Structure 1
Amino acid sequence: MNPISPSRRRLLRGAASAIALPAAFGAGAQPVREFRIGHQKGFLSLLKGRGTLEQRLAPLGVKPTWTEFTAGPVQLEALNVGAIDFGDVGEAPPIFAQAAGAPLAYVAATVPRPKAEGVLVPKGSPIRAAADLKGRKVALNKGSNVHYFLVKLLEKHGLKYADVNVVFLPPADARAAFEKGSIDAWVIWDPFLAAAQKSLDATLLADATGVVGNRAYYFSSLSYADKNLDVLRVAIEEINKIDIWAKLNRDLLAAELAPLFGIPKPVLDLSTARAEYGTGPVTPAILAEQQQIADTFLALKLIPRRIQVRDVARSPWAAA
């Protein structure tokens, strides 16, 4: 994570305070406890729309406020300047944040979702297997979950990271480059993965099955987690209820997510059908997976120092 300029720091704080927080529920009531949620388009958006979290937290004197961000790393920047208390992110961004000294705490993790990320090549490409990527131009979003996936996929097929020409591009730019034929392969996650398969007839060279887990994480700050584990426990329980519903209602889930992402429902049908659902505690085994990612990034000189992931894990269930 790069140093945050004073102007960006003010912007992040302003974004998170855009929704006014009432001082109390009513005359004589105790002040409302803060719970400032940062979120990307996705399951937290569904939770916001349902209003069930507000109902569960009201007896605790907590009223959530919500701020939408474009990506996980931006949420972590907001956390770093004290603008939010909770958010969702993929595997890689919190490693960069911890290495940069951000006060994040892992508080929950999803089940593995290996089919939700993959390597795409154009239809008719001579690249038929991962080993054929040697010497090719491969685009990905730097420091993202797919960055680690590519490293491990190459290793599995006898290649080194240096054997491919990696081009760092955000999803929109990578798709444009893919369409123009200026890259040979694109490593990307759903729903962008499904969209390219459906609209560009792209070929899925490999997904992450048998390579990496591809989990998502829910995070807080160390200071907030140490004082509000009861709030975090309720939030994660409500998130998991959305997961349970999604697993049993994939068609309805796709219909609800399509307008949220601005993507046609058939694309969401593909991505939701292959997704896995479930959110729970960050276990020692999960932390070991995350530590392996951190050690890999250190070896590639993508982070400046070794970190211990377990040092920033907190269990909301410890307050149960």
Structure 2
Amino acid sequence: MNLFRKIIFLVFISNVALITGCAAQKETGSSGSNIEARADHSNIETVHIGYQKFGTLNILKAEGNLDERLKDQGIAIEWIEFPAGPQLLEALNVGSIDFGHTGEAPPIFAQAAGAPIVYIANGPASPKGEAILVQKNSPIKSIEDLKGKKVVLNRGSNVHYLLVKAIQDAGLQLDDIEVTYLPPGDARIAFDRGDVDAWVIWDPFFASAEVELEARILRDGEGLVANREFLLAERTFAEVNDEIISIILEELDSVDQWVSENIGEAAAFLSPEVSIEAPILEKVLERREFGISRVTEEVLLDQQSIGDTFYNLDLIPSEINIYDAVIENK
């Protein structure tokens, strides 16, 4: 293995594990997980679901029907919030959660790190839900203008792939820009005070920056990336709990259908849950596509392409086979 590639990846994984440990402790009051106690996922009494600031699972949590439906079967849900996909999948890796959602890129990093993840389902492509932003009065007018500039993003997140594709499309290399890696909250601060020239970010942070900071879209994901939301599970949980997973997917699809037909009402409903003003959430929902389906061959091939790209750029330590993260007949 290339030594530089290995060092960079190990630093990334170590940082994610540290952040995840802090997040899990904050949400559950525990500094770790009892992996042995949860090794047998049959006859499960509690499903541990990881979610982020915004997404389909977040809507499902707020709506509450899944909790009631599983409660009727004697199963409780523990909802655990994470700042981003990489941290959520690290928690899945160490056994803190059974099921969760991320964008396209985090599962690639997780699989390369040996995490026992499996793809369950995905939403449709929503390329307008992430973008490269610059300040309102920035002299930067094109991706080519980013050469020599500072760009901030959350390493290993969906927008990592967006930046890669945008830079390649402009005829540049990643080495042509100075990339800083920060989680969304810290990245927003750096962007707002001018410490960086551009911010690569996803909704709802993207919409919030547009409205509150008057940030300008340099380029969104349209024509570059799919920007799908993925639902993933820990392998042993998925292998013996397809009935539970099917119920989760049914409820997610039902919620998605309602939101797509009632965007204004959904935004008002979610606003207190996620502490984001309803007009901002409306902007997010209006550029989001809806619908949940089990992963298909086409989607898996897109994920393989992302994995190959990250490997060729030395962002992951070894090549991955996306089908190693799939359960047959699921």
Query: By the TM > 0.5 criterion, same fold?
Result: yes
The match for 1:40 among 52, 59, 66 is: 52
Aligned length: 306
Compared CA separation, residues 53 and 178, structure 1 to 2 (3 A): same
Q: Please tell me the residue identity of whatever aligns with 1:35.
A: V
Q: Which amino acid aligns with 1:2?
A: I
Query: Which of 250, 263, 284 does residue 237 from structure 1 map onto?
Result: 250
SS state of the match for residue 188, structure 1? strand
1:170 aligns with 2:158: no
| Residue pair 2:52, 2:81 contacting (<8 A) in 1 also | yes
CA RMSD, Structure 1 to Structure 2 (Å): 2.6
1:1-34 Cα deviation digits (max 9, x unpaired) = 625989x87984895697xxxxxxxxxxx96544
Cα deviation for residue 41 of structure 1 reads 3.2
| CA–CA distance in structure 2, aligned partners of residues 137 and 258 of structure 1 | 33
**Letter paired with 2:237:** Y
**Cα pair distance change 1:61/1:260, threshold 3 Å:** closer
User: Does the C-alpha gap of structure 1 residues 230 and 31 become closer, same or farther in structure 2, counting only changes over 3 Å?
Assistant: closer
Deviation at 1:85, TM superposition (A): 1.1
- Which of 225, 234, 238 is the aligned partner of 2:238? 225
- Farther-moved stretch of structure 1 (241-250 vs 173-182): 173-182
1:131 aligns with 2:175: no
Number of the residue aligned with 1:2 = 13
CA contact (8 A) 1:13 1:81 kept: no
Structure 2 gap segments, 5+ residues each: 1-11, 31-41
Between 134-143 and 103-112, the greater mean CA deviation after superposition? 134-143
2:115 is the alignment partner of 1:107: no
State whether structure 2 residue 81 is matched by structure 1 residue 68. Answer: yes
One-letter code aligned to 2:218: L
- Give me the whole-angstrom Cα distance separating, in 2, the residues matched to 1:58 and 1:170: 35
State the shift of 1:291 in Å: 0.9
Match among 64, 89, 95 for residue 102 of structure 2: 89
Aligned-pair CA distance for 1:105: 0.8
Pair 1:193 & 2:231 matched? no
Identical-pair percentage: 44
The answer (yes or no) to whether the contact 1:13–1:83 under 8 Å persists in 2 is no
2:62 corresponds, among 49, 72, 76, to: 49
Answering whether residue 326 of structure 2 is matched by residue 307 of structure 1, we say no
1 CA distance for matches of 2:191 and 2:179? 14
- Could you tell me which amino acid in structure 1 is paired with residue 238 of structure 2? A
Cα shift at 1:81: 1.9
C-alpha contact 2:49 2:80 (8 A) present in aligned 1: yes
Cα deviations by residue, 1:39-73 (Å, 9 ceiling, x for unpaired): 22333233233332234435655433323333322
SS at match of 1:139: strand
Q: Which residue of 1 aligns with 2:269?
A: 256
CA distance in 2, matches of 1:49, 1:147: 29
Q: Which amino acid counterpart does residue 48 of structure 2 have in structure 1? A: R
Question: Could you tell me whether the CA contact under 8 Å between 2:122 and 2:293 is conserved in 1?
Answer: yes
* CA offsets 1:200-234 (integer angstroms, 9 cap, x no match): 11111111001000111111111111111111111
Residue among 190, 194, 202 paired with 1:181: 194
What is the deviation of 1:74? 2.4
Match of 2:93 among 80, 99, 103: 80
Aligned to 1:23: none
Check 1:142–1:180 CA distance in 2 against 1; reply closer, same or farther (3 A cut): same
- Tell me the alpha carbon deviations over residues 76-116 of structure 1, each in whole angstroms, 9 at most, x when there is no partner: 22222222211111211111111111111110111111011
Contact preservation (8 Å) 2:50, 2:82 = yes
Q: Match of 1:38, as an amino acid? A: G
How far apart, CA to CA, are the structure 2 residues paired with 1:198 and 1:293? Answer: 31
Task: Encode CA deviations 1:243-296: one digit per residue, 9 max, x unaligned.
Answer: 111111111121122222222222212211111111111111101111111111
Once residues 43 and 311 of structure 2 are traced to their aligned partners in structure 1, the CA distance between those partners, rounded to angstroms, is: 44
Distance 1:11 1:265 in 2: 26
1:164-188 alpha-carbon deviations (Å, 9 max, x no partner): 1112122122222222222111111
1:2 partner SS: helix
Return the alpha-carbon distance in structure 1 between the equivalents of residues 216 and 26 of structure 2: 43
2:5 corresponds to which residue? none
Work out whether residues 282 and 313 of structure 1, in 8 Å CA contact, stay in contact via their aligned partners in 2.
no
Matched, 1:290 2:290: no
Indicate whether 1:209 and 2:252 are aligned.
no
